[in-house]
């Protein structure tokens, strides 16, 4: 099971957030700001396959904690909930 941490939302509810590496967060944010995995890969000077691998691992970490994020919108919501990005950034 992936490492996790407790996250408090607006001082009330607490959920378990997966422990994402700095690189996973970087790839996630680049992908969220891009129109495609190809564009995110170009931003980070990595391959599209590498972006896909990171996203697969991130989604698996969320699913393992009972917080699946199967779509880009769902993953964006999780990233905001867990403090990896903000609405203002997008």
pLDDT of residue 1: 43
In this structure, what DSSP letter does residue 34 have? S
Contact 51, 27 (CB under 8 A): yes
Task: Label residue 66 left, alpha or beta by phi (over 0 means left) and psi (-120 to 50 means alpha).
Answer: left
Q: Who wins on pLDDT, 48 or 7?
A: 48
23-70 per-position pLDDT tens digit: 999 999 999 999 999 999 999 999 999 999 999 999 999 999 999 999
- Beta carbons within 8 Å of 43's beta carbon, 6+ residues apart: 30, 33, 34
């Amino acid at each position: 099971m992936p490492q996790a941490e407790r996250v408090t939302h607006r001082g009330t509810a607490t959920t378990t957030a997966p422990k994402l590496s700095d690189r996973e967060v970087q790839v996630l944010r680049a992908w969220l700001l891009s129109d495609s995995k190809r564009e995110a890969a170009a931003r980070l000077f990595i391959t599209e396959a590498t972006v896909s691998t990171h996203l697969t691992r991130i989604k698996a970490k969320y699913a393992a904690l009972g917080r699946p994020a199967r779509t880009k919108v769902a993953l964006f919501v999780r990233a905001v909930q867990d403090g990896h990005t903000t609405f203002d950034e997008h």
